[in-house]
């Protein structure tokens, strides 16, 4: 019954539909009065209730992410190169809750390179949240957002395996691992990924410096207009580059139906955050630069 329902995909697509509805409705100011502030967090939230917690708890997401990513990356390397059998528990989870159960739709190269890039992204975000970001004391997330963040990374990483050779059901023993060949398109995608990750990291530093004075003392409730880097052209380069990073990951996971649903969820959520952040800056700062765009520098 559960395998037919595919609970992970149902959750992902339902979330995508809900977030897209919120994004579309936000373009109609009349609806904003009656729409609950469900997807917003941090400075974008207008309420503070007993079912909310500090945004600094984002750190927990990436602690789980680095453990999960490292474990599964080591696992696939052992399976593909040391001929270790995939754990029965993971095969059971894939068979019961994920699509792509009957055949492998991804190559060994796509699985290894894609999972490696995803792992790098998680370690970078772990470093940023623990050693770069300065979280406001008043910035909050809801309990629902916290729970969703906790389960997201384990599910997304296991979702990668749902179409991977030797993990998709029925392909445990019929896959020959060849030498991984990186072509020019791989190099291009990896370069875009690394450049996006670097810009996102530099943007995080710019934001954190807004709350530090010349003596490195922190003012955790200070909000200022960011200057420098891509902030000169768009309001949220740290979010825009997150979308680019996931597009690069999707190149390697494009044949994975589970991961396509995850990508759509991330895309809808990040687009909503970009829109909300841009509008918040314009409403909060009267002198906010009019040339800064939401999504595409100098265009829109």
Q: Which residues of the chain have pLDDT under 50?
A: 1-5, 33-36, 214-215
User: Where does residue 176 rank: exposed (0-12), middle (13-18), buried (19+ CB within 10 A)?
Assistant: exposed
- What was the pLDDT predicted at 157? 93
- Residue 149 and residue 127: Cα distance in Å, rounded? 17
Nearest to 39 by CA among 297, 283, 266, 295: 266
Global pTM reads 0.87
Residue 150 in 3-state DSSP?
helix
Long-range pairs of 240-243 with CB within 8 A, sequence gap ≥ 24: 240/274, 240/295, 241/196, 241/197, 241/199, 241/200, 241/203, 242/200, 242/266, 242/270, 243/267, 243/270, 243/271
- What was the pLDDT predicted at 33? 47
pLDDT tens digits for range 278-298: 989 999 999 999 999 999 888
Burial of 16-40, coded b for 16+ CB within 10 Å and e otherwise, reads beebbebbeebeeeeeeeeeeeebb
- Residue 259 and residue 33: Cα distance in Å, rounded? 34
Residue 6 in 3-state DSSP?
coil
- What was the pLDDT predicted at 2? 42
Phi, psi of 102 (to 5 degrees): -100, -10
């Amino acid at each position: 019954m559960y395998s037919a329902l595919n609970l992970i995909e149902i959750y992902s697509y339902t979330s995508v539909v809900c977030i897209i509805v919120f994004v579309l409705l936000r373009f109609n100011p009349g609806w904003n009065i009656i729409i609950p502030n469900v997807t917003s967090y941090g400075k974008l939230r207008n309420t503070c209730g007993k079912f909310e917690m500090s945004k600094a708890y984002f750190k927990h997401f990436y602690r789980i992410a680095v453990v999960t990513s490292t474990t599964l990356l080591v696992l696939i390397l052992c399976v593909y190169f040391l001929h270790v059998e995939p754990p029965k528990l993971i095969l059971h989870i894939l068979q019961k809750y994920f699509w792509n159960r009957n055949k492998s739709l991804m190559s060994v190269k796509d699985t290894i390179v894609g999972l490696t890039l995803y792992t790098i992204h998680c370690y970078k975000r772990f470093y940023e949240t623990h050693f770069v970001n300065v979280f406001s004391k008043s910035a909050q997330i809801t309990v629902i957002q916290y729970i969703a963040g906790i389960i997201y990374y384990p599910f997304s990483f296991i979702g990668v395996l749902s179409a991977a050779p030797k993990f998709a059901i029925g392909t445990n023993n019929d896959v020959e691992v060849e030498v991984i060949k990186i072509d020019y398109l791989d190099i291009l995608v990896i370069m875009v990924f690394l450049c996006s990750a670097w810009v996102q990291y530099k943007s995080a530093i710019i934001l954190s410096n807004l709350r530090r004075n010349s003596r490195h003392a922190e003012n955790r409730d200070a909000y200022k207009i960011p200057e420098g880097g891509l902030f000169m052209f768009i309001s949220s380069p740290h979010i825009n580059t997150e979308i680019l990073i996931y597009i690069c990951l999707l190149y390697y996971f494009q044949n994975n139906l589970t991961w396509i649903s995850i990508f759509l969820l991330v895309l809808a959520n990040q687009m909503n955050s970009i829109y909300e952040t841009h509008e918040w800056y314009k409403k909060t700062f009267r002198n906010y630069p009019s040339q800064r765009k939401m999504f595409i520098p100098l265009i829109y």
